[in-house]
Structure 1
Amino acid sequence: MATDASLERNTRWVQALDRILEVLNLDVEHPIRFLQIEDGREVIIVQPNAFTVSRVYATGRPDGLRPHGEDSYYAYFCAKLAEHEEEHGSREGFELEPEEWQLLFEESFFRYNRYLLFAGIKRWEDVKRDTDTNIAVTTMARTYAPPEIAWQSYQYKGYMLMMNSIAEAELSLQQDNTAEALRHIDAGIQKMGEFCGECLREEHPDAENVTRERYLSNLLEYRADLEALSSSENSANQEPEADDAEIDSDSDEADILAELERLLSEEDESSP
């Protein structure tokens, strides 16, 4: 049974949390707050519902930890790889223990949750950075880990490629460069096709099927929306006499973003 001292301590904890939540003033209309802290890092406070509050560091590890004084386990093991190469004159023979690979994969999963948050609030530079990093992690595993360990992460590369391509395309759209956005999507489609071939050669048909049926299909649909946007822009450029007409150039882009939100809500096939 709780003592008077523990009851008092518990009460103070709850009251402190209540005051913090009151100060943050999070609600359904404003579920996110961005805070800058003394060390220069940005912290995002998220309240997805009335009973859950999370804090996510915008850079480094999402939980803010600094393993071995580095920004992430990935940064730490990259430094170990560089040390190995300097000592041996080659990267050949570099390896990690199974539990070290698991640390990397868990960290990638944290990063995956963060880039979904960033995608939802249209911070595409951050989505690109985190997907770039997760692709690099899974490529490292593919290169240096035994296959049975590597494919624990590598099977999700198709999803990472999809989100990375969308992030690059969205950054181009922010610059009103639809043609460049199309090139990014085309490059992503090509990379995804190469990955599907890799899955089949390595006898991972389930990973190939999910990638082809879901992620590649999503990119093709996204590309079709971009083509429609491009055609709309070309039509507008070819009709200078329509200067007096009000042209809503945001409608097609809004459709693209709506489609992206639908893709991100497919939780039954979540991937790191």
Structure 2
Amino acid sequence: MESSDHSENIDHILKTWNFEPGRLTARIIVSSDGRDVLQMRIEMGLLQMEIVGRPDGERPYDFDSYLEYLSAQFLTEPTAPLTEDDCVEIDREFVQLYHRRICWLALREYEKAVRDADHTLALMDLCRDHSDDEEWIDSHEHFRPFVMFHRIQAKALIELEKHTPEHAIEQLTEGVEQLRTFYETEGAEEGEEFESDELHVRLIELRETLREQFDVGQTLNEQLDEAVANEHYEQAAKLRDRIHRREEPH
């Protein structure tokens, strides 16, 4: 029996970084060659991911991701069908991006979470547009609201950190409407009850928590919507001016 290389043994990591059931724990560490890597503690060990490009560090056909590779292929062959190998690689990339996205959310790296959510949504669009396998397409589309939910959350928390609670609340309202549009156009035939949908409820709860925590009444955009609905056009014009001034770079 060959002796093992102690440098490859990760017992010391697992003993000092306990797995906590029901809680996602992740961290960024510096690897032996000096690059930052992302680690996620799982029950049977840990996952290590690259922080840019594909989480597994691979460069499919010298592209940063399989999405980039396929997008380049479809520029020259727009009607080319996805092959079985393409589908396998797409599914791999979906799973990898999911793990990295939830780590970014746990670490409050919201811009990186948005980046990976956008990548996932673009991959879903590509599947929908270039596959004839409805069952395979649906297996991804089923998770679109969940990815949108993560993106909406992250965008709102970016607004909270960089701007104001009012911006975050407006971002959540905009996100709720995006989610509503998806359910109305894609999920209506399944009888989705949007108002009681868990993702919708959680976004509304976050919005109202921010409103209460930071003592925000009606936002400027909410006041504008009300003024337009009530045909108070002079007031609406003043509100538009205020919103425009607020959004101007200082």
Is the pair's TM-score, using the shorter chain for normalization, greater than 0.5? yes
Per the alignment, residue 235 of structure 2 pairs with: none
Please list every run of 5 or more consecutive structure 2 residues that lacks an aligned counterpart in the other structure. 20-24, 219-250
TM-score (norm 1): 0.67
Deviation at 1:110, TM superposition (A): 1.4
In the alignment, the residues of structure 2 paired with residue 160 and residue 221 of structure 1 have an alpha-carbon distance, to the nearest angstrom, of 18
How big is the shift at 1:226? 1.9
Between 144-153 and 62-71, report the one with greater CA deviation.
144-153
Counterpart residue identity of residue 4, structure 2? R
Cα distance, 1:189 vs structure 2: 0.7
The answer to whether the 8 A contact 2:94-2:120 is kept is yes
Distance 1:198 1:67, change over 3 A: same
1:103-129 deviations in Å (ceiling 9; x for gaps) = 213311210111111111111111000
Structure-2 separation of matches of 1:134 and 1:77: 14
Aligned: 1:223 with 2:207: yes
Q: What is the TM-score of this pair, normalised by structure 2? A: 0.73
Name the structure 1 match of 2:152: 165
Contact 2:211 2:217 (C-alpha < 8 Å) held by counterparts: no
- CA–CA separation in structure 2 for the residues paired with 1:213 and 1:167: 19
Cα deviation, 1:215-261, whole Å, max 9, x if unaligned, reads 11211111111221342699xxxxxxxxxxxxxxxxxxxxxxxxxxx
Higher relative contact order (CA 8 A, sep 6+): 1
Match of 1:105 among 82, 88, 91: 91
| Structure-to-structure mapping, 1:60-75, within 5 angstroms | 60-75=53-68
How many residues matched? 212
Cα RMSD over matched residues?
A: 3.0
**Could you give the per-residue CA deviations for residues 23-64 of structure 1, whole angstroms, max 9, x where no partner exists?**
8994349963422675x8531234445x51221111111111
Contact 1:162 1:215 in 2 (8 A): yes
Q: Is the 8 A contact 1:185 1:219 kept in 2?
A: yes
Distance 1:60 1:195 in 2: 28
How do 1:61-140 and structure 2 match up within 5 A? 61-84=54-77, 91=78, 93-140=79-126
Match for residue 12 of structure 1?
4
**Quick one: distance in 1 between partners of 2:4 and 2:171?**
53
State the SS of the aligned residue for 1:81.
helix
Q: Sort the Cα spacing of 1:46 and 1:79 in 2 relative to 1 into closer, same or farther, 3 A.
A: same
Q: 1:56 to 1:26 in 2, by over 3 A?
A: farther
In structure 1, runs of 5+ residues without a counterpart are: 1-6, 85-90, 235-272
Give the deviation of 1:157 after TM superposition. 0.9
CA distance in structure 1 between the partners assigned to 2:195 and 2:48 by the alignment: 31
Q: 2:131, 2:26 → 1: CA distance?
A: 40
Cα deviation code 1:128-171 (max 9, x no counterpart): 00001111111222222223332221121111111001111111
How far apart, CA to CA, are the structure 2 residues paired with 1:24 and 1:35? 17
Decide whether aligned partners of structure 1 residues 124 and 31 sit closer, same or farther in structure 2, where only a CA change above 3 A counts: closer
Identity %: 19
CA contact (8 A) 1:124 1:167 kept: yes
Aligned-partner residue type, residue 160 of structure 1: V
- Residue among 187, 191, 197 paired with 2:178: 191
Aligned partners of 1:211 and 1:73: how far apart in 2?
36
Distance 1:195 1:68 in 2: 34
Q: Please give the secondary structure, in 1, of the residue aligned with 2:49.
A: strand
2:197 is aligned to: 213
Which is richer in helix? Answer: 1
- The amino acid across from 2:52 in the alignment is T
Using the alignment, how far apart are the partners of 2:49 and 2:123 within structure 1? 20
CA distance change for structure 1 residues 99 and 152 in 2, over 3 Å: closer, same or farther? farther
